[in-house]
Structure 1
Amino acid sequence: MSPADLLMARFLLASAGCLAAGLAVWAVTALCRRKLPDFAAQRSLWLLSQVTIVAAFLVILLPHSERLRIIPQIDLENVTQVGVPSATATATKAPAAGTPAGSGAPAGETSWLASGARAWLLIYLLGLGYSIIKLVHARRMLNGLAAAGSRIDTRHPHDGFAGPAPAVPAPDVIEVDAPISPMLFGLIKPRLLLPRHLRSLAPVQQQLIVAHELTHLRRHDLQWMSAGVLLQTLLWFNPFMRLLRVNLSWAQELGCDREVLRGRPQLQRKAYAAALVAQLRLQHHTVATALAFGGVSERSVAARIALIREPAGAPRPLWARCAAIAILAGVVLGSLAFQPALAWRIDAAPHALQNAAPSPASASTGTSNSAVLLSCTAMIDAARGQRLVHEGQCDERVTPASTFNIVVSLMGYDSGFLRDEHAPLLPFKAGYADWNDSWRASTDPTSWMRNSTVWYAQQVTAHLGAAQFQRYINRFDYGNRDVLGGAGDDNALTLPWISSTLVISPVEQLAFLRKVVKRELGLAPAAYDMTARITRLDDLDNGWEVHGKTGTSAPVTVGGPEDAKHEYGWFVGWASKGRRTIVFARLVLDPRQEGHAAGTRAKRAFLRDLPARLDALN
């Protein structure tokens, strides 16, 4: 599955999620209309409800932390990985001219999810185009009505403006000879359309109608309406968006009714209701991009007349409104927590399975590639930032684990705490992290980087302090920048990079390492030099100099317990030869194997194929 297919699959999942969110939001608003009628009559409820659905749609598109996820990953089997072939395959058969290296399997071998996602994206774009055309048509119709009418000014007085001067500057007023309801439109340049038959109503009715439209202007209802129409257009496939937008219009009309009639005698209130009924009889259809006095439908006009006769009672307590808003916020959080991750099992192309040699770890444990739950291999050119390889799910944010030691090294050398490859040499003390036997010994920067000694990195971060540590992370723009640690963990300086709050994607690892290679982080030159020294590995047979760091950590579930059955394996770094440098990131999530760390397995597999990959890029 290509990155584009993965993005389309997320879009399909987000579309389904926002339909579910729409149902939940509509249930909340229906409850508000029954139990909190005064709150339901507020325009803020309906626009906030639309924003909630859009937010639920957007959060599903974003990479998430494992800690926030409740629903497990969806494993998509029999998906062919597309990318650069293995070293043996490359040596056996060179790619044809004009074909990307390692194209793998035929393009037709895609998953059912990819096919469905592509179809849905096409349907969405067609529907979006149709919705936009409808809006353009409505706008042209309103402009046509305005062009056919005549402007009302002091030379053409109108009884509707005979009352007190409005509190806001009056818009351009145009009288038209058409059976329409008085309406206000124009987000940037508001215009008020008044039908000629309005002059047949009593002067007091004309004044009340004009006051109603000018109240829309003063309350900035055109902006509220435009926001609702825009959100409905973007999610045109969600029927609840239209229902919410219609109720927003109803609430706007009701709000103007209340303000215009506040303090008016009963006789004027009856005249106002009669004018509403008269306009409803003349109105053929409403326009979504205008605020029409005639209302949205017969049902909404009936509700407005009922409230005109019997105004709403005292508002409900503030806690009731806060509860409704909290429930809407819960819909967004639920969309985040219940969103399943799209992971797939990588099945190599048939020729790759025949030619590629198994890694030592898989050969000794019997684990096949089909057991991989998440996989990414990404490479970019450091000088130009050009994407060279992008295989798998490379936008998923996970814990950086010990690859974060590259960050700690840069901070330590820049601050002066670390001095060279062998200084400072720090002794092991009781109470230090001692998960591995190699950690229970005096450690210097070189052995720390080689053994991923957690307690040594903790001494560096403790020396920096929380404030300076956070400043470095912000300067580096590293992942989500969250080094505060989990609630109650008290690990802001000790373990935020291991199965905690700090997460980063392979794509973000590449962006960070590119800045390291190009020395664009604003650090002392020694920080780059010494970090390069302690991360250097053995040169490849084809002459490339490699620097890298592994990382191994378990995923976490909601509430914090680790997944004891799986491990993330990282290997990130860069390879240089002559004037060219290639930055790389490799990430896998596969079953835990006793005695074989996931990071080490990822490193071995990547380095085995790296010479052929680099040769293919030349």
Structure 2
Amino acid sequence: MTPLDVILARLLFAAAGSLAAGLAVWAVAVLCARRFPALAGQRSLWLLGQLAVAIIFGAILLPHTDRLRIVPVIDMNNDSPPLAVAQPSQPAIIVATDAAPATAAEQRGAKVAYAARAWCVLYFLGLGYFACRQWRARRLLQTLIASGTPLAASDDHPGFMGKAGALRPHAIEVCAPISPMLQGIFKPRLLLPRHLRNFDRLQQQLIIEHELTHWRRRDLQLSAASVLLQGVFWFNPFMRMLHARLGWSQEFGCDHDVLSGRPPEERKAYAAALVMQLSLQRQAVDAALAFGASGQPTLVSRVKLIRSPIATRSRWPRYAALGSLAVVVCANLMLQPAFNLHAANIEALDCTIMADANSGKELVREGSCDERVTPASTFKIAISLMGFDSGVLQDDHSPYLPYEERYASPNPSWRHGTDPASWLHESVVWYSQQVVSRVGATRVRGYVQAFDYGNRELASVAGVDDAIALSEVSPTLRISPSEQATFLRKVVNRQLPISDHAYELTERLLKVDMPVNGWQVYGKTGTAAIQRPDGTADQTQDIGWFVGWVVKDGRRLVFARLLQHPVPSYHHAGSQTREAFMSELARRAL
């Protein structure tokens, strides 16, 4: 998949996740409103419900949201996994998705890419339609405003009696049979139908006070935010339902504020005005905040609440509702299923970085090179520098350490006596553990800090021997390709606080006897298994490292190559990555 396909696939998965989140948020909001009826009329419940869906959508788009999951990956691949080649015992890393063998990955990845592209086209068509509707509504409102008559501040409109000099939005009277409404986010204007003058004076005053209450409560701005979310999530029916309930709560809230403390006679007059206005107005202008424009079902509920108002407005039910929404957000992030198509290969690890050792100028940077993963056996470069600097290692063949059963090496090919040369050549893990044990935990951690190596975390882990925790199988040490290049520049330029002896012996042992296009290569491979989000090892995929430097005609370039490989192959992932880099080096004009 191309980088663009990866982005589109994430949008597709995020859209699907927002539908599930919308269902959960809607269910929680409705249950809270039924349990605490006063909450139904509070704007915060419905607006924050929409924001919760938007937050979940945005979080799914983040590269590493899947690390929050606590449920296993749902494997959609029915094929039996092939037998894995014996691998070195290495720490696992976390990547966003699993991948299948190459042919299956290509086929299923192509399907995901096609689906993502189709969804992208559909999404932008829907977004364009929504924008067109909003534009038409705006034009209609502008036409109404242009045909109306501005009301002066001293106008004796019955609805404004007793409010002379009061701060209010500009009022415009129109002859169209519309509902009274506010228009404009930054400079609101109050549109009043001419027929409103036929109402009783008290009714006119209550109706206009209702609209002014909208203005004072900044309902226009909240509605605009909700409409914006409607546009982004036009495909999500639960967002439309939450938007509708927000509009209802705004109307109910204004009714409550306008009628608070008024006698029953005035409440009846206001309810009668609602019914009369509904009978006079035509279809409401789309996306406008309008008095009485929500239709007969909403009118019935509003009249019912006017007659029997809900007096209680305790704060703790609101806090309970908001806490429930927060739980929904967290649960969606943690429980979102990783539908592992064994194909999408989204975020498969692939990076090549090459930089001039002297200036640090990057000559090649391809792929994602800032993802931190386990250094695997490339950490042996640092261990070699530590070992020779501390005197634990003396030269190519000293010390020679015989293999002991207590080392419990999982790889039969490592169960033999080893010296520094064969240790780096064969990548023997148990020898690394003996070196760091002899250097000592405190000094090893000090070296890692002085080297500024990756995340510099060589933490002790409960149940894990320190010799393991401090070696290349450390469960906490992580480094990115970019950080590998930075570390290697310090090695090549001898900028680390170690002896020249350590540099010289390490360089000699890292020399690769295969010059490429005139370049002498010094490097170390590394292989590590990929760990799924549920903590289990993926038996089909490994990552391979090859890092080091090349020298030609006095020029020195450091490099880091990281590549993800399917396990069924004749070579470990590290060896495959080295071969890939050597092939690329032969073709590059550097």
TM-score, length of structure 2 as denominator length: 0.72
In the alignment, which residue of structure 2 is the partner of 1:61? 61
Give the secondary structure class of the aligned counterpart of 1:194. strand
Distance 1:307 1:378 in 2: 63
Alignment of 1:453-472 (within 5 A): 453=432, 459=442, 463=446
- Contact 2:550/2:557 (CA < 8 Å) preserved in 1? yes
Determine which of 340, 351, 372 is the counterpart of 1:378: 351
In the alignment, which residue of structure 2 is the partner of 1:130? 129
Determine which of 555, 580, 583 is the counterpart of 2:531: 555
Deviations along 1:193-247, one digit per CA (max 9) or x if unpaired, are 1122222222222222222222222222122111111111111111111111111
Deviations along 1:559-608, one digit per CA (max 9) or x if unpaired, are x5x43856643415465566695754424375599xx9xxx822200111
Distance 1:183 1:524 in 2: 74
Distance 2:75 2:386 in 1: 46
Please tell me the root mean square deviation across aligned C-alpha atoms, in Å: 5.0
1:547–1:75 distance in 2 versus 1, CA, 3 Å: farther
Deviation at 1:386, TM superposition (A): 8.3
- Contact 1:32/1:39 (CA < 8 Å) preserved in 2? yes
1:386–1:181 distance in 2 versus 1, CA, 3 Å: farther
In the alignment, which residue of structure 1 is the partner of 2:543? 569
In the alignment, which residue of structure 2 is the partner of 1:17? 17
Distance 2:523 2:219 in 1: 59
2:249 matches 1:278: no
Distance 2:133 2:47 in 1: 21
Distance 2:251 2:262 in 1: 17
181-190 vs 453-462, which moves further? 453-462
- Tell me which structure has the larger Cα radius of gyration: 2
In the alignment, which residue of structure 2 is the partner of 1:83? none
Distance 2:503 2:269 in 1: 83
291-300 vs 545-554, which moves further? 545-554
Alignment of 1:247-266 (within 5 A): 247-266=245-264
In the alignment, which residue of structure 2 is the partner of 1:206? 204
Distance 1:183 1:4 in 2: 44
69-78 vs 1-10, which moves further? 69-78
Deviations along 1:374-414, one digit per CA (max 9) or x if unpaired, are 84333256588687654xxx6996743548959x96xx9xx
- Code of the aligned partner of 1:145: L
- Code of the aligned partner of 1:379: T
Distance 1:123 1:274 in 2: 45
Distance 2:517 2:486 in 1: 25
In the alignment, which residue of structure 1 is the partner of 2:577? 606
- Code of the aligned partner of 1:42: Q
Deviation at 1:42, TM superposition (A): 1.2
- Contact 1:540/1:546 (CA < 8 Å) preserved in 2? no
Deviation at 1:173, TM superposition (A): 1.8
1:2–1:157 distance in 2 versus 1, CA, 3 Å: same
- Contact 1:183/1:291 (CA < 8 Å) preserved in 2? yes
Deviation at 1:451, TM superposition (A): 6.2
- Code of the aligned partner of 2:2: S
Deviation at 1:11, TM superposition (A): 2.2
In the alignment, which residue of structure 2 is the partner of 1:363? none
Give the secondary structure class of the aligned counterpart of 1:14. helix
In the alignment, which residue of structure 1 is the partner of 2:117? 118
- Contact 1:159/1:199 (CA < 8 Å) preserved in 2? yes
In the alignment, which residue of structure 2 is the partner of 1:97? none
In the alignment, which residue of structure 2 is the partner of 1:422? 388
1:422–1:34 distance in 2 versus 1, CA, 3 Å: same
451-460 vs 335-344, which moves further? 451-460
In the alignment, which residue of structure 1 is the partner of 2:150? 151
In the alignment, which residue of structure 2 is the partner of 1:36? 36
Alignment of 1:288-307 (within 5 A): 288-307=286-305
Distance 1:395 1:615 in 2: 22
In the alignment, which residue of structure 2 is the partner of 1:245? 243
- Contact 1:75/1:373 (CA < 8 Å) preserved in 2? no
- Code of the aligned partner of 1:378: C
In the alignment, which residue of structure 2 is the partner of 1:586? 562
- Contact 1:557/1:563 (CA < 8 Å) preserved in 2? no
Distance 2:17 2:51 in 1: 14
1:502–1:604 distance in 2 versus 1, CA, 3 Å: closer
- Code of the aligned partner of 1:201: F
Distance 2:248 2:527 in 1: 57
1:515–1:166 distance in 2 versus 1, CA, 3 Å: farther
In the alignment, which residue of structure 2 is the partner of 1:357? none
Deviations along 1:303-337, one digit per CA (max 9) or x if unpaired, are 11111111114346726742563255325532443
Deviation at 1:526, TM superposition (A): 3.6
Deviations along 1:491-515, one digit per CA (max 9) or x if unpaired, are 9xx68997978888xxxx3454566
User: Higher RCO, 1 or 2 (CA under 8 Å, sep at least 6)?
Assistant: 2
- Code of the aligned partner of 1:9: A
TM-score, length of structure 1 as denominator length: 0.69
Deviation at 1:46, TM superposition (A): 0.9
1:135–1:114 distance in 2 versus 1, CA, 3 Å: same
- Contact 2:544/2:565 (CA < 8 Å) preserved in 1? no
Determine which of 513, 517, 540 is the counterpart of 1:542: 517
Where in structure 2 are there 5+ consecutive unaligned residues?
80-102, 394-398, 400-405
In the alignment, which residue of structure 1 is the partner of 2:374? 400
